[in-house]
Structure 1
Amino acid sequence: MVVIRQKLVPEAQAKKVTYGGINKKKKVVVHGTDNYRTGADADAHARLQYNGNSRSASWHWSVDEKEAVQSFLHEWSCWAAGNDKGNLEGIHVETCVNADGNYKKTLENTAALIAKILKDEKLTIDDVVQHNHYSGKNCPREIRSGNVPWSDFLKMIQNAGTTQTPKPNTDNKKCRVLTGTYSTIQAAENVLDVLKYRFSWVAYIEQDGSEWRVKTGTFTGMAAAQAGANKIKTAKLAQVANVVAA
């Protein structure tokens, strides 16, 4: 089972990095992020798109060992395949390869997600292709290297279990994460850079007397904010990370 949630890119931003809602939805295209940095998980890639990707690129799904996050509805033609044909007929799924992730579990989640997409869009296993199919790019790199043979991955899709449908989110409280203090502004700026450029979060530095702390942008729901706080602590960016009302 894979947990699914949406963080859909606002329409004004979506129009800058897609062909619009004209996707023929004939193929499911498997990619690898090639982003091995700590913290470069599905949430980070979804936030990157939501906040305005500086690259001329877009994709429908980001998947890691915890969840699959949808950035675009399948009707949108994303810029991911390397050519117009793939962009105009593909549903693009990025598998995360971050150093602090569990790649085996990520592939299991990706397989479960694709099994659901095939069912929803009335496609077959023969409609699942690699990014390489369209552009010749060595992507998804890990699968193409033989780490997990493509034939094995297709079997994983066919054998995938029932996808877990997320419960409706009834917690709409806006929250932020506030770190403990740092003795120098440079230390705070180092953490800020990770949150902004590695996690793709909105974040700020606040002065607290003679010290500094970092505050994130808003999360919707206490659970999402607490997951953000845990991510900061897991990455060893702060010993203390508190959730506060926005």
Structure 2
Amino acid sequence: MQDDGTDHRERFAEEARSERPDLSLLCLLLGAVADPRLGDAGVDAAQMELDRLAGLLPYGAKSPRGWATALAALLGDRLGFHGSPGDYQKLESSLLHEVLRSRRGLPILLSVVWIEVARRAGAPVYGVALPGHFVVGFGDPQELGGPDARVLADPFGGGAPLTGPDAERLVVGATGTPIEPSALSPAQPLDVVLRVLNNIRAWAAVRPERSDVGLWAVELSLLLPSHPARLRYERAQLLVQRGDFLTGAAELDAYAEVVAAVEPSAAEALRGRARAARARLN
């Protein structure tokens, strides 16, 4: 599942820099880079499937709890969208088109399905990037009203509603530390996409034979307007690992320039690695 994918990468970069990035389109373009068989037709078909699912929701105004209940009844109960521990071992669990097909995935991708279906139906919905477990919220995140003003749901669990203590247990179980109030803020589309790419990079990192996946994941991350500078170092390492010594060395030198002002010794070490990479050509 590797591609050249130039057109889809360009579209990904374009959409990421647009005024209002489209979350589903970015996730599908990511999938088209991962699997060139998807193509533009597959991207369009997946968008139409999200439209179709939204059309299956009961019509009419709803409270946040009503929206959460309707989504759980449709996507969780009727259609079987959910996750299991085994899904963490599959690259497909991080690809939106595959999750729409299999109805299985990681918490963040299942949440993308919920968000995009609910948004198309007019629901006040947003993603919530809890540490270690992504969920969705319904209602106004700033609303200070009663218990139904804001409702959290866990798509990985088929849409089970989450109380405050439930969310606290999820975070403590994943990280060992209490939840911070800021963790309940709406996640922005580009932050969601970067987290998806981070999951893919982590999946590839423990599978050296899939360095191709790690490389396109880090390269897409670098196309986002805001990303950790250290990703350039990760890309350089992957290029060298895959035998592209000259390009990897050039990237190491470029990253050395970035860190030179604050960490001269680290920059010199990077330049040494660049020289070592070039020497492997001899």
Q: TM-score, normalised by structure 2?
A: 0.32
Rg larger in 1 or in 2? 2
Higher percent of residues as helix: 2
Higher relative contact order (CA 8 A, sep 6+): 1
The answer to which structure has the higher strand fraction is 1
- TM-score of the superposed pair, with normalisation by structure 1: 0.35
